[in-house]
Amino acid sequence: MNTASLPQLPLRDSTGALDLLKGVRVLDLTNSIAGPYAGQLLGDLGATVLKIEKPGSGDDVRAWGPPFLEGEALWYQSVNRNKLSLTLDFQKPAGYAILERLVKQCDVVVVNVVARVQTKLGIDHNTLTRLRPGLIHASLTGFGLDGERADMPCYDLIAEGYSGVMDLTGEPESAPQKVGTPAADMLAGHDCAMAILAALVRRSRSNEGCAIDIAMVESMTRFMAPRLMPYLGSGEAPRRSGGKDSVIAIYQTFDTADEPMTLGLGNDAIWKRFWAAVGDPAFGEDPAFATNAQRRAQRPRIVERITALLATQPRAVWLELLREARVPAGPISRVDQVTADAELQRRGMFYAVERDGCRVPQVGLGIRFDGRSEACSRLPPRLGEDNTEVLRDWLQLSAQNLDQLRADHVI
């Protein structure tokens, strides 16, 4: 892989790690993206997160490459920091006995297999709450725990298709397009972490546990609310239009003399400021364009005028001018330009942590508490790297016990 950009990332250590969830123990039985992302969010906030993986192979996403770094897929490394890794075959009796002991020590268990498999493996809510009263059990699946789709497998792509987002993404003449990041995975993972936090607050008051049911399709469908609600209220179904249409009259991409840009004239004041900034205040004051509804009715004419105007100067000129005028506008950044963004770098969104002489890149939490954000107290763990620590320190297993478990391929 190309690591030329890695030395430019500032090194960060674990100093100042967030401690909002200090003392909370999370058992992460998930794999792929959505569940692990939920666990990473909780770990970033200070929880102790123990990731349980299959001996030998581990989380499926470890193999989702290239690119790889230190033999691990970078997709895996994007959603698994601030965790411990324990390999455990809990389909074997000795492994399940260890799982039971771990559950008794944890506040939260996160799973991402369908209800039938949860019951078969003994990791469903009813089974685990008998071991640990007050347990918060979070299930993250494609379609939820009940209904005719409950047993169906699901990935991000499938959830995006169900939600309607793919149908509205892309140019009018193009085929439906997937969002350029695993949006359903990330949204469902975020929902899972948010739900767990709410359940922890309730448990702090009442000692009451919770059975959380997150469906990727429903998380992604809720994300579509600003497009679904207008249809539900009007019967007018929106169609994909690229970056060139919105309920806001002018809210789209435009070409300039060199590179494309975005422009959002979201209210009447911004509309007037834009035209004053580009030297045509009279057009902005024209009563024929006084409201958003009027501007939408004459949108083709307005777009044609703005298109011709913006084509006369490079993007940098327009962005500086519109910034001074407080008009929402920006570049359409490539991934390499995002990571080189000076302000995002200043805010700590991109950093590296050194391990054995290798710099492992990270994308920050992007949330600050009292001026601080997450620290990477633990890099995404190598498969089973914490077996000895967890089983010795959490369960007081002896070296002889550990040797036997390895010999039996339980860990």
Encoded tokens for 354: 């050194």
Measure Cα distances from 63 to 34, 111, 225, 310 in Å.
16, 20, 35, 45
Count CA within 13 A, CB hemisphere, residue 391.
27
Neighbours of 217 (CB within 10 A): 22
Of 156, 185, 191, 386, catalytic? 185
* Cβ–Cβ under 8 Å, residues 302 and 249: yes
Encoded tokens for 393: 């320190």
Is residue 124 annotated as part of the catalytic site, yes or no? no
Report angle CA 140, 145, 149 to the nearest 5 degrees: 105
CA-wise closest residue to 115 among 151, 158, 153: 151
- 213/256 Cα distance (integer angstroms): 47
**Which residues pair with residue 212 across a beta bridge?**
138
Length of the chain: 411
For residue 106, the SS3 value is coil
* Cβ–Cβ under 8 Å, residues 123 and 132: no
Strand segments (E) across 143-294: 210-215, 250-254, 261-265
Residues annotated as catalytic (active site), given as ranges = 185
